[in-house]
Amino acid sequence: MGSAALLACDWGTTNLRVWTLDEAGAVVADRDFPGLGVSKLKPGEAEARFRDEVRPALGAEGLPAILCGMVGSNLGWTLAPYADAPADLEDLARCLKTVEGADWVRIVPGVRWGGFNGQGDVMRGEETQLFGWLAADPARSRGRRLICHPGTHAKWMLVEDGRLTRFVTAMTGELFAVLKTYSVLKSDAAADDMAAFDAGVAAAGDGTALAARLFTARARVVGEGRPPEETPSYLSGLLIGAEAAAVPALLGCSGDEPLSLLGDARLCGLYARALAAQARSADLHDGEAAAVAGLFALYRKARP
């Protein structure tokens, strides 16, 4: 491992994750800043916090820096306009936003496209993980494949010969949190009952009529006597199962495309379980490693 040559940041809504990388892209040091998510910052505060807290914490004063995520939104440091899909790594690198008045700092733009129903769709951060994952193995840039990034707003991304051609966002994680906290299905129980999760996946069917299927989470308790502690796990399975069953078709997928899950290991495991119940296999990949690889690949394209 060499000395630090680059500061790489994934700056999201709730958290900031930072790495210093050497000239080969290997991680030298890393740090979490959970109090610096862009939703917690005042307008104009990001630049000062980055300069006065983030850089010194990793000894990265003076290093070039590249940032992805919501830091490039209207909530973040400065607006980095979206790149349009279809897009590849080269397109994204050309659209990097230069931060004026700072040392060499670039912000990844995110990607937009017209949407499966013509109403539009956007992402910020997931594209960096996607292109980092593609850059890690040239074989991944050949042919047509489907990549799912589970999360609060899950992304299903169709890649054709290394280009992100279209994608769909599913608000599954946020919907789960809202229903578990505020609705008639609210519960403080943990969502860790796999038998109840599997029952929810089965109840999801083909993913249609989701509003009707959701009520079964209440009916099975008050009408069938199921333990109320099962509800969060059942609800999780139902929501993830419905997403996995219905969303790929919105991208025109036939079900024959290689499918990869990219992101948090626990969430990817739940999605893999739901997909397996639907006779669909998927391989799992670490999202953090992909983010680092994507930031480094974009840096190399922008400043070889």
Q: In three state form, how does the secondary structure of 18-41 look?
A: EEEECCCCCEEEEEEEHHHCHHHC
Q: What is the tens place of the pLDDT at every residue in 140-175?
A: 999 999 999 999 999 999 999 999 999 999 999 999
Q: Which of 86, 19, 2 has the alpha carbon at shortest distance from 290?
A: 19
pLDDT at 301 over 70: yes
118 CB burial (10 A radius; 0-12, 13-18, 19+) = exposed
pLDDT at 102 over 90: no
pLDDT at 232 over 90: yes
Cβ proximity of 4 and 63 under 8 Å: yes
Which residues 6+ apart lie within 8 Å of 49 measured at CB? 36, 41
Check residue 100 and give its pLDDT: 82
Q: How far is it, in rounded angstroms, from Cα 249 to Cα 252?
A: 5
Cβ proximity of 11 and 68 under 8 Å: yes
**Does residue 227 have a cis bond before it (omega within 30 degrees)?**
no
The chain-wide mean pLDDT, for the chain, equals: 96
Residue 2: pLDDT band with limits 50, 70, 90 = confident
Q: Which of 144, 36, 104 has the alpha carbon at shortest distance from 303?
A: 104
Note the Cα 35 to chain centre separation in Å. Answer: 20
Cβ proximity of 214 and 179 under 8 Å: yes
pLDDT at 304 over 70: no
Check residue 254 and give its pLDDT: 87
pLDDT at 103 over 90: no
Residue 248: pLDDT band with limits 50, 70, 90 = very high
Q: How far is it, in rounded angstroms, from Cα 71 to Cα 150?
A: 20
Check residue 255 and give its pLDDT: 87
Domain ranges of the chain: 114-304
Check residue 221 and give its pLDDT: 97
Q: Which of 202, 168, 209, 208 has the alpha carbon at shortest distance from 279?
A: 202
Check residue 266 and give its pLDDT: 96
Cβ proximity of 58 and 7 under 8 Å: yes
pLDDT at 88 over 70: yes
* Percentage of the chain exceeding pLDDT 70: 99
Q: What is the DSSP string of 83-103?
A: EESSB-HHHHHHTPEE-TTSS
Q: Is the pTM of this model over 0.75?
A: yes
Check residue 78 and give its pLDDT: 93
pLDDT at 99 over 80: yes
Check residue 159 and give its pLDDT: 98
Residue 35: pLDDT band with limits 50, 70, 90 = confident
pLDDT at 92 over 80: yes
pLDDT at 262 over 90: yes
Overall fold of domain 114-304:
Nucleotidyltransferase; domain 5 (3.30.420)
Q: Which residue has the higher pLDDT, 75 or 220?
A: 220
Q: What is the DSSP string of 162-208?
A: TEEEEEEEE-HHHHHHHHHHHSTT---S-S--HHHHHHHHHHHTTS-
> Quick one: tokens of 203?
């109840």
Check residue 303 and give its pLDDT: 82
**Average pLDDT score over residue span 109-137:** 97
CA terminus-to-terminus distance, the chain: 19
